[in-house]
Amino acid sequence: MNHEERIKQIVEIAYDRLCGKITGQRIDVSNEASLQLQFASILKTIGELYEETPDERFNIELEKSVILSGRAFVKSKTEKAKIDIWFSLENVKSGEKHSCAIELKYFKKINHREPNNRYDVFKDIHNLECYGSFVDAGFLLVATDHPHYINQEVYSQDTKDFDFREGRGYIGGTELAYRTKKPYGPPITLKGKYNFSWRTVESGLSFLFVPVKPCE
Please indicate, yes or no, if residue 177 is contained in any of the structural domains. Answer: no
Please indicate, yes or no, if residue 94 is contained in any of the structural domains. Answer: yes
Mean of the pLDDT values across residues 157-174?
A: 97
What is the maximum span of the chain, computed from C-alpha positions, in angstroms? 59
Peptide bond into 186 cis (omega under 30): no
Please indicate, yes or no, if residue 117 is contained in any of the structural domains. Answer: yes
Position 36 scores a pLDDT of 98
Please indicate, yes or no, if residue 173 is contained in any of the structural domains. Answer: no
Confidence of residue 70 (pLDDT cuts 50, 70, 90): low
Please indicate, yes or no, if residue 113 is contained in any of the structural domains. Answer: yes
Q: How far apart are CA 109 and CA 13, in angstroms?
A: 28
Please indicate, yes or no, if residue 46 is contained in any of the structural domains. Answer: yes
Confidence of residue 73 (pLDDT cuts 50, 70, 90): confident
Residue 106 pLDDT greater than 70, yes or no? yes
Please indicate, yes or no, if residue 119 is contained in any of the structural domains. Answer: yes
Query: Which pTM value belongs to this model?
Result: 0.94
Q: How far apart are CA 8 and CA 131, in angstroms?
A: 16
Q: E strands along the chain, which residues?
A: 56-67, 80-91, 97-107, 137-144, 169-170, 175-176, 188-189, 194-195, 198-200, 206-212
Domain that holds residue 17: 3-147+198-212
Q: What rounded mean pLDDT belongs to the chain?
A: 93
Residue 54 pLDDT greater than 90, yes or no? yes
Please indicate, yes or no, if residue 191 is contained in any of the structural domains. Answer: no
Listed residue (185, 137, 142, 128) closest to 161, CA to CA: 185
Instruction: Please state the domain count of the chain.
Output: 1
Q: Count of CB atoms within 10 A of residue 84's CB?
A: 21
Residue 69 pLDDT greater than 70, yes or no? yes
